[in-house]
Amino acid sequence: MRFSEKIPGRVLLVIAFSALSALVLITVFIFVEGVPLIARVGVFNFIFGMKWAPSQGAFGIFPMIVGSLSVTLGAIILGVPIALCCAIFLTEFAPATVRNAIRPAIQLLAGIPSVVYGFWGLIFVVPLIRNYIGGPGLSILAGSIILAIMILPTIISISEVSLLALPPPYREGAFALGATQWQTIHGVLLPAARSGILAAVILGMGRAIGETMAVIMVLGNAVAMPSSILDPARTLTTNIGIEMAYAAGEHRQALFATGIVLLVMIMILNSVAQYALRRRQDER
Amino acid sequence: MLAVSVLLVTGSTLAGCSGETSWKTEVLTSMSVKINTVLPNNRLVHHNTKLRTERVSLYYGTFRALKDISLDIPEHAITAIIGPSGCGKSSFLRLFNRMNDLITRARVEGCVELDGVHIYEKSTDVVELRKRVGMVFQKPNPFPMSVFDNVSFGPRQHGRKSRGELGDIVEKSLKLAALWDEVKEKLDQSALALSGGQQQRLCIARVLAVEPEVILMDEPCSALDPVATLKIEDLMTNLAANYTIVIVTHNMQQAARVSDMAACFLMDPDRSGVLVEYGPTSQIFTNPKDKRTEDYITGRFG
Ligand SMILES: Nc1ncnc2c1ncn2[C@@H]1O[C@H](COP(=O)(O)OP(=O)(O)O)[C@@H](O)[C@H]1O
Ligand SMILES: [Mg+2]
C-alpha cells in the first residue's frame, strides 16, 4: 500500500531527471569538445580575435559576437515598442471580442517555423532594403527586422500577463485622482509592471540571440566585421549552422567553443530575466 | 425655478437638473441651495448643498442596484452612508466621481449635481470632476512607488513639474493627513513598506495633494486596526472644516462619532438599494423616524 502510493512520484522523478540529464549531457559534451580549443587559443584571443579563418588556424569570433549583438539589439529596438503598444492595447483598450481575436493570431505568429520567416525575409525584406535603402540587402537590418517580428509573441504575451496581473486598485486609484487613461498607463501601470516587462524583453533577446535558420537566410553571413547596419554579418549561431557540415578537427572544436560562448550569453540573459520576474513577485 | 436662477448666475450652459425643487431645499439668489444641519453640539448651521442627487437609479446591466435616490449633501460637513452589505453604498458613492463609468455595464438615470451642476452631461469633463471629487478606497491602494511619488502623482499628472513645488505640495499634504512626522525621513522609500494605517493616510494625502473639494471615502477603516481607525477619524474631523466628506461605513459607532449627517440605505425585496432615512446623525441614531432604520441600527448595536 505505502509502496504503491510512492510509485507515481518515483516514476515522475525518474522522467524529470532524464530531462535534466539531457541538459547536463549536452552541456558537458559542448564543454569537453570546446574548452581545449579555447585553452589553446586563449580566452581573450578567441573572444576578441578579429580573424576567423579555420584553414589558417585563426579562430577569432569577435565579428560574430558583434553580429549577434547587433541583430539582437536591432530586433529589440524595432520589436519592443511595437510589442509594448500591442500589449497595452490588448490589456487596456481592446474590447473582449477584439482581444479574443488578436490573441490567437499572435500565438500563431509564434508557431510559424523560422525557415518560413527567413524565406519571407529573403524574398520580401532583402530586396526592399537593397532597392530603397542601399547595400546588398542581405544585412544586419534585414536580420533585425525578421527577428523583431519573431520575438513579438514572446514579448507581447509576457508583458500582457504582467499588465493583467496588476491589482485593479492601481487603475482605480489613478483614475480617481483625475489621471487620464494614458496618464494611468504611463504613470502607474507601466512602472508597476516594469520588472515583468523587463523579463519579457530579456527573454525576447534570448530568443533573438539563439535564432539561427531565419538569420542565415537574410544576413549574408560574411565573416568580416560589419561597419554599418546595411552590411552583411554573421552571428554565433549562423557560424555553427553554416560550417558544421564540413568542419573537422580543430575547426569542429572551434564551433563547439562558439557554442560555449552562446550558452554563457543565454544563461546570463535567462538569469537576469529570472531575477526580474522574482522581483516582480516580491513587489506584490 | 431653480434651473433658471442657475442659468442666470453662471451665464453658461452649465446647469443643474430642471424640475421641481425638493421640499427640503429653498432657492437662494445664488447657484447653490441651502439646508439646515443640526450639528452634534445642537448648533444650527447653514450649509450650502455641495452634492445632490435627485431620483437617481443605477443599473448594472438589467439589475437595478439603486432606486430613486434623492439626497442633498451639505458642504464642509461629514455625511455618513450606512446600511447592510450589498445595499448599494459603494455604488452610490461612486456616482459622485463617476467611477461607475469604468464598469461598462453600469448606467445612471436621474440627476447628480456638484455645486448645482449636473455631472452626467455629455459635456462633463470627467478628469476635471475627479480632481474636484477625490476618493479613498476600502483597501489602501498606494502605487508601487516611493512615498513622494505617490503623493505627488496627481499634481505631476496635472502639470506641476518643478521638484521644489512638488516638494511643498507633498509636505503640506502629508501634514494635513497627519502622516508627515512618521514618513518625512523615508519619502524615497517604497510606499508599500508602510503599515496599513499609514498607507491609508498616504492615500488620503495623495487625494489632498490634488486639492479636491469633496473627499469620498468607501469604508476607509475596514482594513485597519482600532488605533489606526481612530487616527483616520481624527483626521476626517479636522478636514471637515474645509472639505465636504462623504463616508461609507459599516461601523455604527464610527458613523455616530464622526458624521454630521447620516443616510441609511437598505435593500428592497427586489434587492435594489433604497434610501430609507436621511437626517442629522444625532436624530438618526437617537430618534429614527423610520422603523427599518431603528431595526438596522439597534440590530447592529446588539
Ligand atoms: N461591477 C458590478 N457589476 C455588477 N453588479 C455589481 C457591481 N458592483 C456592485 N454590484 C452589485 O450592486 C449591488 C450593490 O453593491 P455595492 O454598491 O458594492 O454595495 P455595498 O457597498 O453597500 O456593499 C450588489 O448587489 C452588488 O452585487
Ligand atoms: Mg461597499
Which residue, B149, B143, B193, B192, is CA-closest to B170? B149
| Chain A neighbors of B192, CB-CB under 8 A | 283
pLDDT score for A116: 96
What per-residue confidence (pLDDT) applies to A281? 59
Burial B8-36 (b: 16+ CB within 10 A, else e): eeeeeebbbbeeeeeeeeeeeeebbbbbe
Q: What are the backbone angles phi and psi of residue B188, rounded to the nearest 5°?
A: -95, 0
Q: Which of A12-16, A246-250, B39-43, B212-216 has the lowest average pLDDT?
A: B39-43
CB–CB contact A179 B127 (8 Å): yes
Cell of B8: 442666470
Distance CA(B29)–CA(A43), nearest Å, equals 89
Distance from CA of residue A30 to its chain's centroid? 21
Query: Is the pLDDT reported for residue B198 higher than 90?
Result: yes
Would you state the pLDDT for residue B181?
A: 93
Residue A15 domain-assigned? no
Query: Which residue lies with its CA nearest to atom 1 of ligand 1?
Result: B103
Alpha-carbon torsion, ordered A206, A209, A212, A215, to 10 deg: 130
How far does the CA of residue B172 sit from the closest CA of chain A (Å)?
Answer: 17
CB hemisphere CA count around B218 (13 angstroms): 24
* Lookup: cell for A245: 557540415
pLDDT higher than 80, residue B26: no
Give the integer Cα–Cα distance in Å for B81 and B278.
9
**Residue B86: nearest ligand to its CA?**
1
What is the mean predicted confidence (pLDDT) over B85-113?
93
What ipTM was predicted for this assembly? 0.84
Q: What pLDDT is attached to residue B161?
A: 74
Is residue A35 in a domain?
A: no
* CATH number, domain containing residue A231: 1.10.3720.10
User: How far apart (Å, rounded) are the C-alpha atoms in residues B255 and A33?
Assistant: 78
Using pLDDT thresholds of 50, 70 and 90, give the confidence band for residue B43.
low
A140: its cell numbers: 544586419
Query: Ligand 1 pocket by C-beta < 6 Å: which residues?
Result: B 60, 65, 85-91, 103
Which residues does A8 contact at the CB level (< 8 Å), separation at least 6? none
Per-block mean pLDDT, blocks of 10 residues, chain A (284 long): 79 90 93 94 94 91 95 96 95 90 91 94 96 93 96 94 93 94 94 91 92 93 91 94 91 94 91 80 55
**Which site among B91, B131, B133, B143 would you substitute to test the A interface, given the most A Cβ atoms closer than 10 Å to its Cβ?**
B143
- Range(s) of the domain holding residue A164: 52-283
Please give the tally of structural domains in chain A: 1
Contact A177 B206 (CB under 8 A): yes
Residues at Cβ < 5 Å from ligand 2 ion = B 90
C-alpha cell at A106: 499572435
Q: Which residue among B91, B218, B250, B271 has the greatest number of ligand 1 atoms within 8 angstroms of its CB, and so is best to mutate? A: B91
Residue of B nearest to A92 (CA): B102
* Average pLDDT, integer, range B217-226: 91
Is residue A152, in this structure, part of any structural domain at all? yes
C-alpha cell at A183: 496618464
Which residue, among A145, A115, A113, A147, has the nearest Cα to A129 in the 3D structure? Answer: A145
pLDDT of residue B34: 45
Q: Which three cell numbers stand for residue A21?
A: 540529464
Q: Whose CA is nearest to atom 18 of ligand 1?
A: B90
Cβ pair A191:B153 closer than 8 A: no
* Nearest-CB residue to B153 (from A180, A187, A283): A187
Lookup: cell for B198: 499609514
Of B249, B210, B209, residue with least CA distance to B233: B249
- Say how far apart CA A95 and CA A98 lie, in whole Å: 6
The pLDDT, as a whole number, for residue A8 is 85
pLDDT tens-place string over residues B83-95: 999 999 999 999 9
Q: Identify whether the C-beta of residue B61 lies closer than 8 Å to the C-beta of residue B268.
A: no
Dihedrals φ, ψ of A281, to 5°? -65, -40
The count of C-alpha atoms lying within 13 angstroms of the C-alpha of B226, restricted to the half-sphere facing its C-beta, is 1
Find the B88 Cα to ligand 1 centroid distance in Å: 6
How many angstroms separate the CA atoms of B230 and B251, rounded? 12
A172 neighbourhood in chain B, CB within 8 Å = 99, 102, 137, 141
Q: Which atom of ligand 1 is nearest to the CA of B87?
A: 22
pLDDT at position B188 = 93
What is the SS3 string spanning A131-175? HHCCCCCCCHHHHHHHHHHHHHHHHHHHHHHHHHCCCHHHHHHHH
Contact B99 A175 (CB under 8 A): yes
List phi, psi (to 5°) of B80: -100, 140
Residue A271 belongs to a domain: yes
CA of B95 to the centre of ligand 2 (A): 13
Separation of CA B82 and ligand 2 centre (Å): 10
Q: Nearest CB to A179: which of B137, B141, B157?
A: B157
| Residue A42 located in a structural domain | no
CB B114 within 8 A of CB B95: no
Rounded-to-integer distance, Cα A44 and Cα B65, Å: 73
User: Among residues of chain B, what percentage have pLDDT more than 90?
Assistant: 67
Quote the longest CA-to-CA distance of chain A: 74
Distance from Cα B64 to the centre of ligand 1, integer Å: 10
Give the span between the Cα atoms of B64 and B68, in whole angstroms. Answer: 10
Give the A:B interface size as CB pairs under 8 Å. Answer: 68
Q: Which residue(s) pair with B27 in the sheet? A: B33
In a domain, A20, yes or no: no
Which residue in the set A175, A177, A283 is minimally distant from B102, CB to CB? A175
Beta bridge partner(s), residue A228? none
Identify whether the C-beta of residue A84 lies closer than 8 Å to the C-beta of residue A151: no
CA of B90 to the centre of ligand 2 (A): 4
Considering the domain boundaries, does residue A33 fall inside one?
Answer: no
| Chain B CA closest to residue A96 | B104
Residue bearing cell 437595478: B64
Does position B21 have pLDDT exceeding 80, yes or no? no
A29 in a structural domain? no
Residue nearest to atom 12 of ligand 1 (CA): B65
Going by alpha carbons, the residue nearest to atom 16 of ligand 1 is B88
C-alpha of residue A218 to centroid of ligand 2, in Å = 59
pTM: 0.82
List, as own/partner pairs, every contact residues B31-39 make where C-beta atoms lie below 8 angstroms and the sequence separation is at least 24, other chains included. B31/B5, B31/B6, B31/B115, B31/B116, B32/B115, B32/B116, B33/B2, B33/B72, B33/B116, B35/B72, B35/B74, B37/B74, B37/B77, B37/B260, B37/B261, B37/B280, B38/B280, B38/B282, B38/B283, B39/B77, B39/B260, B39/B280
**Which ligand lies nearest to the CA atom of residue B65 in the structure?**
1
Check CB contact under 8 Å for A178 and B153: no
